Structure 1
Amino acid sequence: MKDELTALNPSSKQLLGYWSLDPAITFLNHGSFGACPLPVLAAQERWRSRMEQQPLQFFGRDLEALLDQARAELAAFVGAHSEDLAFVPNATTAINTVLRSLQFAPGDELLTTSQEYNACRNALHYVADRYGLTIVVAEVPFPIDAPEQVVEAIVGCLSAKTRLALIDHVVSQTGLVFPLAELVQALTHRSVETLVDGAHAPGMMPLDLQALGATYYTGNLHKWVCSPKGAAFLYVQRDRQTAIRPLTISHGANSPRTDRSRFRLEFDWTGTDDPTAYLCIPEAIRLMGSLLPGGWDELMARNHALAIAARQALCETLKLTPPCPDAMLGSLAVLSLPDGNPQGLQDALLERYQIEVPIVPFPTSTSRLVRISAQVYNRLEQYTFLGTAIAALLHEEISHSVNK
């Protein structure tokens, strides 16, 4: 595996120079908030300078065409028509946008899984409480042996009352990549709308939203695409767009224009804000795709290979068993640690070893998963160092417990 990683990318230290990450910190948490490369941040500063030099020209005359250009490049990257995409600041906003736009009837069921992201689950509960709906939770096992178990768990919870399913593409807590094509096909066959939380997917794996066929799909671009914070998208099937309204209703709601769809008019202007993160998406796509000779395909393959190698190194050091097959991972991976204080362990790793890595409380508040991310600037020896640090801290926990 080491040879494979070397062949895929021999220059991680050199590539680290594209980022402003603190060299004193072993940063293994790209998955939470991403990290924007310096050339992309420089591009954003140029956009901001243009915006402030002549604000009326920028907002009133130029912005619409600029957003169209950025959206066209994003559409090519995610396999969609640009008319079906709207820019939003993050995936959580997109989930709320869809759920709060749809009309439900009392007794309708909303389906999700036991691994859904907490913020999106909260949005689901808000709508359920408002309309008198029932939330059905499919228990997806973890550890897990095969992707078929995900399909079985979700399909097994469907009923004649199921209206919509909120499902992950890549699970934040466990790193699992759900078999999305099979899930969308099964749900669509049963006339259930699909709202896909793809927060981690863009830039982690290839996307073809048109072929996928999900009713609604959202993805963050500040994570694995490495755009500035505040850049995400919402995809809505063409025949559903009239029902989906932005969370903020503004001028587009009663615009007399007929040259653009109501969907486009409403989402492209929700009030004065800084749109430069959206305009930097093409720069981020181009830069990240230029870092390795094989472009985005090589980048995604390299990050996946590093995540697998890193997980294996941790398993060997900590005497753990991988909780899922390699094929169910992208560039995130987790391992279960002995129960304890998740935040205490995370804090100790940072304070004593200068390692930034999340210790996730899942499925209970005292359960602990260590979640590693693999981005092009990371190296295998960083995860070896993490394993040594965790082993020492767990040994201290045991000694402290025995000596109580």
Structure 2
Amino acid sequence: MFQNTLTEYETGKWVKLWLLDSSVTFLNHGSFGACPKAVLSGQQRLREQLEQEPLRFFGREWEKLLDEARRKLAEFVGADAENLVFVPNATTGVNSVLRSLVFHPEDEILTTNHEYNACRNALDFVASRTGARVVVAKIPFPLESSEQILSAVIERVSPKTRLALLDHVTSQTGLIFPIQQLVKQLQQRGVDTLVDGAHALGMQHLNLSEIGATYYTGNCHKWLCAPKGAAFLYVQPHKQLEIRPLTISHGANSPRTDKSRFQLEFDWMGTDDPTAYMCVPEAIAFMGSLLPGGWSELRQRNHQLALQARQLLCEALNVSVPCPDEMIGSMAVVPMPTVLESRNFMSLHDELFDRFGIQVQVVPWQEKPKLLVRVSAQIYNTLEQYEYLGKALKELILKNVN
């Protein structure tokens, strides 16, 4: 088990690299990430470069910077740069694929009950317009093994299944799905896969070529710690002609032949601030420089800290661990005791923040346990912060009992 051996100096050293409010116990890196000062400074330099001469920037400098950022990201995620485009967020990536594909009333689109709400809304929207049917694989939580995920998904495949929209790491429950196995088994049944990897980049070692998904989208602003507004969409070459951006612009009729229409269309969707994309290499380099073992050590440290935080909270609240250790990454979910089940999730979140200064994700769940608390573990977090959360939750439990 990971031991918290960081000295007070080292703990302070890490948190000082971010702009985080020192009055807040910030245990929710997973929702929107947090961008280090050094990366934000790099973005500001790029913004100044843009504003000093906007025409020169967009006419001569922009594309080279974007291509270099794409090349660095492609190396990091194990993909060919030709198969990647930047998008503002993973939700846009999911929408771009779903709204490009042509579905028919006889088609089924498979997803799970753990799917992120925004992406499920996109799925329902497309289904309502095309007549396709959304089929939901019900994955239990708590659960005992990843086999329960595999069997739940594969059992809902039918001859009508056209596409499966699956999380790599779930937002609500923090589970790492056995995505490579799922993709392989679905491919064997003739089903394309759209993977919502919003949380995976920077939390998990990614090799998109090995995963083999037809489509994969992920955020750079979460665990990679790039600025907000940076994400990517990966599309296998034989599907790229079908996938169009949500905004049709100059790339749709570009006469250029040096790039695919896929990249020409997604790279320019109107005037915007592209500096978040261009900072991705700086985020990769900066986060990879924090520990001697680079990204591998950082991911392992955050994983072990999440495990230790989960164990600490489960013991404090007298609840059972809801899934095996290997099924979580840098986020861990703890079921709330029965006495708190009647609480509205937002009111519990707000009380933890307003009364205790704790920023943590409170998640409503469909079945017992009705409430979950999801903690994140980033290098700037400490065990003492999770101990403080445990004490705060125990105080709220006593308050509800009395």
The answer to whether the superposition gives a TM-score over 0.5 is yes
Query: Shift of the alpha carbon at 1:364?
Result: 5.6
TM-score, scaled relative to structure 1? 0.97
Question: Is the alpha carbon distance of 1:349 and 1:267 closer, same or farther for their aligned partners in structure 2, counting shifts above 3 Å?
Answer: same
Indicate yes or no: 2:360 matched with 1:360. Answer: no
State the match for 2:217 in structure 1: 218
1:177-229 superposed Cα distances (whole Å, 9 cap, x missing partner): 00011100000111100000000000001000011100000000100000000
Determine the C-alpha separation between the residues in 2 that align with 1:311 and 1:194.
31
Question: Is the alpha carbon distance of 1:230 and 1:179 closer, same or farther for their aligned partners in structure 2, counting shifts above 3 Å?
Answer: same
Q: What amino acid maps onto 1:386 in structure 2? A: L
Determine the C-alpha separation between the residues in 1 that align with 2:215 and 2:228.
22
Q: What amino acid maps onto 1:234 in structure 2? A: L
Indicate yes or no: 2:385 matched with 1:386. Answer: no
Contact 2:198–2:217 under 8 Å retained in 1:
yes
Query: Shift of the alpha carbon at 1:11?
Result: 2.2
Query: Shift of the alpha carbon at 1:139?
Result: 0.2
Query: Shift of the alpha carbon at 1:13?
Result: 2.3
Question: Is the alpha carbon distance of 1:9 and 1:81 closer, same or farther for their aligned partners in structure 2, counting shifts above 3 Å?
Answer: farther
Q: What amino acid maps onto 1:79 in structure 2? A: G
Determine the C-alpha separation between the residues in 2 that align with 1:31 and 1:9.
24
Q: In structure 1, list runs of 5 or more residues that go unmatched.
A: 400-404
State the match for 1:369 in structure 2: 372
Cα RMSD of the aligned pairs, angstroms, is: 1.4
State the match for 2:199 in structure 1: 200
Contact 1:9–1:302 under 8 Å retained in 2:
no
Contact 1:341–1:366 under 8 Å retained in 2:
no
Q: In structure 2, list runs of 5 or more residues that go unmatched.
A: none
State the match for 2:94 in structure 1: 95
Contact 1:8–1:298 under 8 Å retained in 2:
no
Contact 2:42–2:282 under 8 Å retained in 1:
yes
Contact 1:342–1:366 under 8 Å retained in 2:
no
Determine the C-alpha separation between the residues in 2 that align with 1:152 and 1:282.
38
Query: Shift of the alpha carbon at 1:138?
Result: 0.1
State the match for 1:326 in structure 2: 325
State the match for 1:135 in structure 2: 134
Determine the C-alpha separation between the residues in 1 that align with 2:8 and 2:149.
33
SS in 1 for 2:135: strand
State the match for 2:266 in structure 1: 267
Query: Shift of the alpha carbon at 1:9?
Result: 11
Indicate yes or no: 2:390 matched with 1:397. Answer: no
Q: What amino acid maps onto 2:51 in structure 1? A: E
Contact 2:2–2:301 under 8 Å retained in 1:
no
Contact 1:8–1:302 under 8 Å retained in 2:
no
Query: Shift of the alpha carbon at 1:310?
Result: 0.2
Determine the C-alpha separation between the residues in 2 that align with 1:364 and 1:42.
45
State the match for 1:172 in structure 2: 171
Determine the C-alpha separation between the residues in 2 that align with 1:273 and 1:335.
40
Determine the C-alpha separation between the residues in 1 that align with 2:67 and 2:32.
26
State the match for 1:16 in structure 2: 15
Contact 1:110–1:166 under 8 Å retained in 2:
yes
Would you say how many aligned residue pairs link Structure 1 and Structure 2? Answer: 398
Query: Shift of the alpha carbon at 1:50?
Result: 0.2
Determine the C-alpha separation between the residues in 1 that align with 2:104 and 2:317.
51
SS in 2 for 1:45: helix
Determine the C-alpha separation between the residues in 1 that align with 2:189 and 2:237.
20
Determine the C-alpha separation between the residues in 2 that align with 1:323 and 1:254.
52
State the match for 1:312 in structure 2: 311
Query: Shift of the alpha carbon at 1:351?
Result: 1.0
Query: Shift of the alpha carbon at 1:344?
Result: 1.3
Determine the C-alpha separation between the residues in 1 that align with 2:62 and 2:401.
59
State the match for 1:56 in structure 2: 55
Q: What percent of counterpart residues are identical?
A: 60
Determine the C-alpha separation between the residues in 2 that align with 1:103 and 1:381.
51
Query: Shift of the alpha carbon at 1:8?
Result: 12
Query: Shift of the alpha carbon at 1:153?
Result: 0.1
Determine the C-alpha separation between the residues in 2 that align with 1:149 and 1:34.
30
1:312-348 superposed Cα distances (whole Å, 9 cap, x missing partner): 0001111111000000000011111131221111111
Contact 1:40–1:280 under 8 Å retained in 2:
yes
Contact 1:342–1:367 under 8 Å retained in 2:
no
Determine the C-alpha separation between the residues in 1 that align with 2:254 and 2:334.
52
Determine the C-alpha separation between the residues in 2 that align with 1:356 and 1:161.
44
SS in 1 for 2:375: strand
State the match for 2:348 in structure 1: 345
